[in-house]
Amino acid sequence: MPIEIKIVTESDFDDFNDVADIGFLRLRERGQGPFRRTLFADEIAAGRAIGAYDGGRVVGTFANYANTVTVPGGAAVPVSAVTAVTVAQTHRRRGILSSMTAKAFRQSADAGVPLSMLIPSEWPIYGRYGYGHATDETRYTFESKRCATVRPLPGTVDFVSAPEWVQAGQAVYERVRVATPGAVERRNSWWEREAGLLTHDGEPRDKEWLFVVYRDEDGTPRGVATYQPREGGWEGFVPDNSAEVSMIAEDYVARVRLLQFLWEQDWLSSFSVDRFPADDTWRHLMVDPRLARQKQRYDVLWVRVLDVVAALEARTYEGEGRLVLAVTDPDGYADGVYALEGGPAGATAKRSTETPDLTLPVQTLGALYLGQHAASALARVGEAAEEKPGALALADRMFKTAVPPYCVTWF
């Protein structure tokens, strides 16, 4: 019997949900379909959950949820946020992922959505579908007792209740989101779920975490963090506890002020923070930046351009210029030659018959789109070709941003 790719209905969603949890080996989360079905009711009704069926059995999952992403210049661009992508171990190598992806691209293009994006579980999978590596994030560890700031930092940090943290965090995040290329909206009761106030079994879990808010001198929340201390050993009768921390900060001062609060906490000898931006200028506010030890840097957001004109016109560019880009796309959505004129004030783009300045595959355009990469660097590894002398240098000045993009929210 052939595999059928179709939209998942509300009655099928619980099976879809369990298959996705099995695919990610989250076995204890099976059975949460009714809870998630309520959270994502609008997306399910819009037909944005896609399943692969072998008879009546779900053997592949693909969510193509609607959101917006902030791009350089601050515009919020419609995007299809792809998540929950799995193929059953029993049905690999049958073209299921390719078929689900094709259906999702067609759905997004028909809806006029210019971008698709995802956070891949593995690097090699999605480049062949036209996605390009667009943002990185980092993980840092801190030895608490050795850290210090170069000068006193303003503001205060206070413990708050989970509901207070949600309220403050939402305000902080919205300001961060509109100013940060790569950031998406947090929908579907994200904050309440993150705080442990909204759970699948109705039992709040907010008491498992500590919640803090940083306020500036005017009392405005500028950063939030939550963490869970973990008891370690007591060698020599000295406490050796650690913590895993999640934080959002509007600026460098807010970030380091929250870090300072953590490294000055009694009984906490070390802590780790993941999902940090790739921009590490905040370390200059530390007496010894080497004590902020980057343990990992990893790719997060991958971008797939579906409508080149709409995508290029949506963002601004660091430097003024005009480029003719030849984009290759085996799926056809982005394929063509495009004339781009842009600068800090905005851009225009249109299809063109001119001789191109640069030739690049659609995944390279996705990698360049949010501003992380230099076109010249990608060209050195064969991911773009300069057809006109000076075109790569101009692309660097236009596309690359001074501050790298940052996804902020995983989905």
Furthest-apart CA atoms within the chain: distance in Å: 76
| Residue 303 located in a structural domain | no
Closest to 19 (Cα-Cα) out of 48, 49, 59:
59
For residue 356, being part of any structural domain is answered with yes
Alpha-carbon distances, residue 298 vs 121, 140, 341 (angstroms): 11, 12, 32
CB atoms within 10 A of CB 387: 15
**Final residue of a domain: which of 247, 268, 297?**
297
What per-residue confidence (pLDDT) applies to 378? 98
Q: 400: which residues sit within 8 A by CB, 6+ positions away?
A: 318, 368, 371, 372, 373, 374, 375
Q: SS3 for the chain, per residue?
A: CCCEEEECCHHHHHHHHHHHHHHCCCHHHCCCHHHHHHHCHHHHHCCCEEEEEECCEEEEEEEEEEEEEECCCCCEEEEEEEEEEEECHHHCCCCHHHHHHHHHHHHHHHCCCCEEEECCCCCCCHHHHCCEECCEEEEEEEEHHHCCECCCCCCEEEEECHHHHHHHHHHHHHHHHHHCCCCECCCCCHHHHHCCCCCCCCCCCHHHCEEEEEECCCCCEEEEEEEEEECCCCHHHCCCEEEEEEEEECCHHHHHHHHHHHHCCCCECEEEEEEEECCCHHHHHECCHHHEEEEEEEECCEEEECCHHHHHHHCCCCCCEEEEEEEECCCCCCCEEEEEEEECCEEEEEECCCCCCEEEEHHHHHHHHCCCCCHHHHHHCCCCEECCCCHHHHHHHHHCCCCCCCCCCCC
Domain at 327, CATH number = 3.30.1050.10
**Per-residue pLDDT, 232:** 86
Token pair in block for residue 35: 């809870």
CB count, 10 Å around CB of 352? 15
Residue 239 confidence (pLDDT): 80
204 within a domain of the structure (yes/no): yes
CB 315 within 8 A of CB 348: no
Domain membership flag for residue 128: no
Arithmetic mean of pLDDT over the chain = 97
12 lies in the same domain as 94: yes
Same domain, 143 and 292: yes
* Pairwise CA distance, residues 65 & 47, whole Å: 9
The answer on 146 and 287 residing in a single domain is yes
Q: What is the pLDDT of residue 383?
A: 98
Torsion of CA 182, 185, 189, 190, to 10 degrees: 10
Kindly state whether residues 78 and 34 are assigned to the same domain: yes
Q: What digits encode the pLDDT tens for the residues 16-57?
A: 999 999 999 999 999 999 999 999 999 999 999 999 999 999
Q: What is the mean pLDDT of residues 389-398?
A: 98
Asked if the structure places residue 119 within a domain, the reply is no
User: What are the tens digits of pLDDT across the range 152-164?
Assistant: 999 999 999 999 9
Same domain membership, residue 143 and residue 240? yes
146 and 84, same structural domain? no
Q: Which of 274, 297, 320 is the last residue of a domain?
A: 297
Kindly tell me if the per-residue pLDDT of 238 is higher than 80: no
The two three-digit tokens of residue 249, written as one number: 């900060």
Is pLDDT of 167 > 80?
Answer: yes
In a domain, 122, yes or no: no
Encode 30-58: b = buried (16+ Cβ within 10 Å), e = exposed: eebbebbbebbeebbeeebbbbbbbeeeb
Residues 290 and 321 in one domain: no
- Asked if 314 and 279 sit in the same domain, the reply is no
- pLDDT class of 115 with cuts at 50, 70, 90: very high
Residue 188 has pLDDT above 90, yes or no: yes
Q: Would you put residue 200 in left (φ > 0), alpha (ψ -120 to 50) or beta?
A: alpha
Same domain, 292 and 316: no
Backbone angles phi, psi at 20, to 5 degrees: -65, -40
**172/273 same-domain check:** yes
- C-alpha 134/C-alpha 119 separation (Å) is 10
Percent of residues, the chain, with pLDDT higher than 70: 100
CATH of the domain at 69: 3.40.630.30
How far apart (Å, rounded) are the C-alpha atoms in residues 310 and 315? Answer: 9
Read off the pLDDT band of 240 (50, 70, 90).
Answer: confident
Condensed to tens digits (0 to 9), the pLDDT of residues 353-371 reads 999 999 999 999 999 999 9
How many folded domains does the chain comprise? Answer: 3
Q: Which domain holds residue 44?
A: 4-113
Is the separation of the CB atoms in 84 and 204 below 8 Å? no
> Is 279 inside any structural domain?
yes
Q: Which residues pair with 360 in a beta bridge?
A: 327
* pLDDT > 90 fraction of the chain, expressed in percent and rounded: 97
pLDDT in tens, 300-340: 999 999 999 999 999 999 999 999 999 999 999 999 999 99
User: Could you give the residue numbers annotated as active site?
Assistant: 126, 411
**Average pLDDT estimate for 247-274:** 96
**Rounded average pLDDT over 130-145:** 96
Domain membership flag for residue 91: yes
Please tell me the predicted confidence (pLDDT) of residue 365: 98
Q: How many residues does the chain have?
A: 411
pLDDT tens digits for 345-355?
Answer: 999 999 999 99
Cα separations (Å) of 91 from 8, 254, 358? 18, 48, 40
pTM here is 0.95
Indicate if 271 and 312 belong to the same structural domain: no
Q: Is 278 exposed, middle or buried (0-12, 13-18, 19+ CB in 10 A)?
A: middle
Is the domain of 194 the same as that of 292? yes
pLDDT number for residue 236: 78
pLDDT of 1 > 80? The answer is no
